[in-house]
Structure 1
Amino acid sequence: MTTNVPTDREEVARRRETIAELTRAGLSAAEIAVRLNITPRTVVRQRAAAGVSKPTYPRLTEEQIETARRLIDEGAPYKEVARTIGCCQSTVAQRFPGRGWTRKQIDEWRRERRLWAAAS
């Protein structure tokens, strides 16, 4: 892989700011690396130097939160709630801790579903 190595401090500062802006826009290190023709490790180092360690993701809207709350109250698992409102399962789990299904509940539900399917 041929990379772009900046030769002066101004170029380094410009690239660092570009990386910080792309990070704030939500791009991953790999996506930024491809765009700028540099390695993902360089992106990580430049993020750290700029004080931006990870991309920031948009917060959930009030509508998404209300929809998620309603679905969880109806008994939907985190995965289904996340798919419905368009975010990660971990985001839903962090926002509504202790309200999703446990592994044991999921296993019980699967067993019940299999029993119903076998009886039909």
Structure 2
Amino acid sequence: MGKLIGYAHVSTKAQDADRQIKDLIAAGVRRDDLYVDHGVSGARASRPAFDRALDALHEGDTLVITTLDRLGRSTVNMLSLAEQLRSKGINLRVLNLGGGNVDTATPMGSMVFTVMAALAQMELEIKRERVTDSVTKRRAAGGDLGGRRPAFTDSQIENARRLIDAGQPATHVARDLGMSRATLYRRIADLDVKQWMKIQKG
């Protein structure tokens, strides 16, 4: 009977893999056969501990992971890796699929794996959309997103003022510029002062 090789990973060093490790041990993986990547994105082609886990696998062994996204972050990547394992006679066991082996050597196993890989990628895309939506809402509310703020020219601020004077809601104009209404009004006031000083000098 082959060995069980367990792999866990967390994307940031602030996260911990304790739950994954606990589940892998409960599934029969020995601590000596556990490989964990900390602070390494699943999107990276090379993951040190994952590479060592693959090197430790031999024909008849089983790679055990807790969730399918531990294997990779794209359907193509997951399927490619599964094919590599199958060609070497290595099984794959995903604990969130009921603890059974996903046997990619059979038509049914290949179908199940393909569907689950696609679902894992879809779940990741949904998470990304939620983050993007959150950022958009914070920007619309004038929240500080960090990083360098966009620079706006005087003509852009002047155009914004014209839109407001023409009846456009200031909140909508500010949102389109990626700033809060208060910030837009402050920029308009700064522009007024700048223009007044230019007139005085002229």
* Superposed pair shares fold, TM > 0.5: no
TM-score in terms of structure 1 length: 0.32
Write 1 or 2 for the structure with the bigger share of strand: 2
**Taking CA–CA contacts closer than 8 Å with sequence separation of 6 or more, which of the two structures ends up with the larger relative contact order?**
1
